[in-house]
Each structure stands twice: as C-alpha cells, then as structure tokens.
Structure 1
Amino acid sequence: MSVSERTWITAGLPSGAYEALTRELPASRLWSLLLEVVDARAAARRPASLMEQWDRDRFVGLAAVDQRAQLEVDRHLLDAASAFESIELSPVAPLGVCSSMGRASQNKVLSALRGTEVVADPTNVMALECARRLRRDPQAVVRLATSHRCVRAQEIPKVRGFTAHFRMFCLAGAGLERGNHAFVVGAIAEQISVMIDALERLERHGFAFPEKRITVLASEAKAALGDRIAEKVGRPRIARGVLDHQYYDGLRFQIAARSTDGVDVPLIDGGAFDWVARLASNNKAVFVATGAGSQLVPLLFRQSGSNS
C-alpha cells in the first residue's frame, strides 16, 4: 500500500490509532474489536443492500461453471492422482499464509477475521500440512491432492473463464532430499506425469487440449536438474527454458493448450518451493506443488456437442 493510500484510509483516526491497531494491540483484543465493528455493520444492513451487493460484487456471485460439469472434471483429475491422498481443505487458512511464504501482497487475498483469510491458493495451505507431517515423521513421503474453490482480490485477466472465485486442482509432495537431488527431480517429474495423464483422461471423455505445450524452466544454477526432469518425464517435445521468477525455488513447469475458441491458455503451473523447509525448520525438506485451473476445463476445453 502506498503512503498516499494509507493516509487516505487512516484520515480522521485519532493520533496513534493506526500504530496501536497494527502493532500494539494484542491479537485477541484486535479480533474482538473487529468482530464488534462487523457485528454493528451487519446489524445495519437491509435487504436492499444485500441484493445490491449480490448483483455487483464479484466475490459473492455464482460461479461461471455448471456444478455437474465441474464435478465430472474433478473426478477425472482425482482418478489420475490415485497415488496421492485426497484431502478436503477448510474454506479459510491462517492469516498471511500466502503473503508470508509466497511473498504475494496481502491486498490480493480476501482477509477475514479471527486471524484467518479465505484460501487464495491451496498449495500454500497444503505446505502447512506437509510440514506438520514431516515434523511428526521426518522420513515420511507426503503426497496430497485436492480440488478447492479459491477467492482472489487481484485484478482479473480479461480472458473468458477467469473470475474472482474459481476452482483449482492441486497436487503437493514433500519429503527429505536424497543424494543428487533425486527427490525434487522425481517429485516434479511425477506431478508432470500425473497432469499429462489427467488431460489424456479428460480427452477420452469429451474434452480437447490441442497444441499442448509442456515447458520445464530452471534457474541457471539448476539447469542440469531441469534436463533430468524433462528426461525422466520421457515425453517428446518438452521445451526447456530459463527461470528468473523468485517465487519458485529454482525449478518450474508449465502446461498450456489452445481453447476451443483458439486462445492460448496457461492451464497448469507447478514447481519447487522452499516453504516446507522454512515451516519445518529443516533445510533438507523439499516441497513440490502443482496448481491447475480446473474450472477452465469445462468452460474452455469441452468439445462441441459432448455431454460425457
């Protein structure tokens, strides 16, 4: 938030009130205060204002996708990830789970009360669960999968199918690194293979992903690992690229395809992250995660006339 924006927001507050709210007031008292404020605001609302918000607020309206169509896609995705434990996440997560680990702005997340926020990216939340399991059993190999409706407050791309709340299908894998970076190479290759299998399953059930492009990106320091991942996946025409995005821990992959209306759509994104190493206080811990825009599948990739 810029200085001018903060000045506008805090205008009219007593001197020192902003500092007291953000730094001095204990969390329990702050949440209690905010709950009282929200309770008073809610009590003042009338049916007309509720209808107005329902009509205009991008966060609360219906999803752009038919629920039966989405459940069909989720079933095929989960079937492809049969080696992963399927989990159901809470709609909310600890406050700061995205901004503190993934370095995303908290203003792009729908913050809530009682120290929580609405889930904007399931992979950040799955990192918490992976870290908890590794702290309990450092020798464990964790594989998790979930389908989750997310909410984001960031600017929405002007592309058909992109909305403020949307469905994501996510994979997460964690464990302690072995010799020669075998764990991270194997985990990323596994998740790429699962997502390729998922797309092929969907293609057998009325969906089409023409011109699929798989790209493995690596920082200069990890270029050899990127080559090993591409070789381990064993698919022809895997492109390679240089990664210069600090969000990832040196390794990333992307899968894109052409939609039915001819638009190039980035559909799947994954890679290695340092989140579990930080959460578990163990530099040997590796975390690999994948996110797929599963809501885009029934909206943009269903073949004409297909109902299966």
Structure 2
Amino acid sequence: MSTIINRILKQIGDPELLDKLLSLSKADLNSLLLGLFEKQTDKFTPADVLKTFQSNRFSTPSDASPAKFHALETQLLTAAKEMDIETVLLSPSAPLGSCSVFGCVDQYNVVSALRGTETLSDPSNMLAIIIADKLKSRTENNILPLHYATTARVVRAQAFSGRGFLANFGLFCLVSSGKDSGSYICEKELLTKHFLFYKELLREKYNAKLSIVMRKRGGYTDGDGFFASMTEVVQTMLPDTPLSLNYDNDDNKYYQGINFKIYMENEHEKMEIGDGGFVDWMNQMLGSKKERCLISGIGLDRLLMLG
C-alpha cells in the first residue's frame, strides 16, 4: 500500500476502510463512487473547471494537426485492409484492469474510471481481448492466423518528458493470433506479417531510413533457438536494414521470446516509432498453451514529426 494511501487512511481514522470498500459488490462500490463524484462536482463552478483544465495534463489537446493525424489514420487502416488485416474502431473506454491484470503495467499508470472501465491506454490489449472473445464464442478460429488492427488516441498516467512524449497520443496497433504447430512455424508467420506491413508502409511509402533492435526475452524453453529463428525472419525480410541484437535483460514479464524496436531517421533526428513482441495474453484468457499472440504498434504523433 502506498504512503499516500496510508496517510489518508490515518487521517480518516479507519485503517481498514479500503478492505471494507472492497468487500462491497462491484455494483454497490460503483454506486458509492458515483455518489461521491456527484457530491464533489456539485461544489464546482465553471471557473473551477477552467482552472482544472489549465493544470490537468490529461485534458490538454495535442499540437498535432487534426487533418494530418486523421489522414495518417486513414492511410494506415487502408493499408491494413489491403493486406487482409481486419480493422476495428475501438471505444475510448476499456474494461477496468485490461492492462494491469495481464501483468503488463501498474494500474497507477492507467486512468481508472467508473462503471467497471478505464480510459483506453493500450489498443493492443483491447484487440487481444476482442480476438479472445471471438475465439471463446467460436465466431472465429485461428487455425489460420487472425490479424486485427486499429488506431486510437490513448491516455497514460505516467509522467513523460521530451520531444514526442505526451500524456495523450495516437497509436496504430496490430495484433495477430495463431495456433502453435511446432518448429516456431506460427511465430514466424505472425512476425513475417507484421514486418511486411511495416516494410511496405515505412520504407516503400515513406522512403524512411530504418533501423531495428531485437531484444531477447524469457518465456521460451529454447530461448536462444527461438531468438535466432525470429532474428532470421527479420534479416531475410529487411536485409539492408541495420539490425542490432540485444541479449541483456532477457527476464521481461511483458514480452515472450523477443521484443523488437523500430527506429526511423530523417536528416534531423532519429526516433523510436515502433515496438512489438510476443505476449502470453491469449494463453491467460483462453487457458491454452497452444495460443500464440504477436502485438506491435507505432506512434502516430512521432510518425507525423518525422514524416
């Protein structure tokens, strides 16, 4: 429990208050919190709202051109459809815990909300949840891999600094799901799909100078063999692109086997614009060790900066 929470409980005079609240049903807890926020906002004035806007980084608008931003979204989603990737228009809200429950991020880094929701902070998690729902309900199967993509404006609670780092920013995310068939065949197919998309987009449409970093991660019994197989896929697809291999810090709970970073460079600067790797989220949701899932994404605001 954080120092701040301990201080608040001590101030209230009830160190067991959190446990008491958590003993309520979800519906009752939600009703209680709604009542609390209603009473809080009853005291607000329009001037208070303006003052909050001026100091709250989560509601600050982006400096990006809306026309250019939405044109880029259209370009990416159209390119995805042309590669037989299913596109989805997500809700700005996600189920509460949609990131932290998978062990990916601390809930403190997500803007939690009421009615069992949180502000969307990672579209890749939501795409994975949507795919898992379709697989569980048997409206889809992934004997042949499924590929889903989306764009979204997201909000994250951790404090960022530096050029290209904002509390709210745009992402393009690609999530693929398949079944293990041995010899890393499924993983190779998923990774090929992702890099084919980024190759056509960034090199052929943007004529971008790219470089890639491949990082080894835990999660596979034959970690070295898996890393070598995935590295070979990338080298084959992008033989002229600088590729760095990083074997450090391979005990990572987010990615399984590999994590790749995509860097884009123009005459003025070099910037990380993409990130991806295999995750075990499908295994966790569906209870099957045969499930394979690859996620990746690129930052839209950053792509606009370098484009």
TM-score, scaled to structure 2: 0.89
Partner residue of 2:306?
Answer: 301
- In the alignment, does 2:30 pair up with 1:31? yes
**How many angstroms apart in 2 are the aligned matches of 1:79 and 1:217?**
30
Deviations 1:75-116 (A, max 9, x none): 222233222111011111111111111431100000000111
Q: Distance in 1 between matches of 2:275 and 2:182?
A: 26
Equivalent positions of 1:104-119 (< 5 A) are: 104-119=105-120
Q: Distance in 2 between matches of 1:259 and 1:49?
A: 44
**What is residue 288 of structure 2 aligned with on the other side?**
282
Instruction: Say whether residues 1:141 and 2:171 are aligned partners.
Output: no
Call closer, same or farther: CA 1:27–1:45 in 2, change over 3 Å.
same
Deviation at residue 259 of structure 1 after TM alignment: 5.2
How far the C-alpha of 1:172 sits from its partner, in A, is 0.5
- Structure 2 spans left out of the alignment, 5+ residues: 218-222
Structure-1 separation of matches of 2:103 and 2:126: 11
Indicate conservation of the 8 Å contact 1:213/1:256, yes or no. yes
Query: For residue 306 of structure 1, what is the aligned residue in structure 2?
Result: none
Q: Which runs of 4+ in 1 moved over 6 A?
A: none
SS in structure 2 opposite 1:25?
A: coil
CA distance in 1: counterparts of 2:39 and 2:205, whole angstroms: 49
What is the rounded CA distance, in whole Å, between the counterparts of 2:266 and 2:88 in structure 1? Answer: 29
Equivalent in the alignment of 1:186: 189
Provide the residue aligned with 1:162 in structure 2.
Answer: 165
Per-residue CA deviation, residues 110-163 of structure 1 (Å, 9 max, x unaligned), is 00001110011111111101111222144353210100000000020x222211
Deviation, 1:226, is 2.3
Distance 1:141 1:71, change over 3 A: same
SS at match of 1:179: coil
Which residue matches 1:252?
A: 259
Q: 1:33 to 1:258 in 2, by over 3 A?
A: same
Q: What is the rounded CA distance, in whole Å, between the counterparts of 2:240 and 2:180 in structure 1?
A: 28
Partner amino acid for 1:39? E
**How many Å separate the matches in 2 of 1:73 and 1:202?**
12
Figure out how many residues of one structure are paired with residues of the other and give that number.
292
Using the aligned pairs only, state the percent identity: 27
Aligned-partner Cα distance in 2 for 1:58–1:261: 28
Question: Does the alignment pair 1:240 with 2:245?
Answer: yes
Q: TM-score, normalised by structure 1?
A: 0.88
Q: Name which of 285, 289, 298 aligns with 1:292.
A: 298
Aligned-partner residue type, residue 149 of structure 2: A
1:163-201, Cα deviation, whole Å (9 max, x unpaired): 100100000100211121111111112102211211135
Deviation at 1:235, TM superposition (A): 3.0
Q: Give the alignment's Cα RMSD to 1 decimal.
A: 1.9
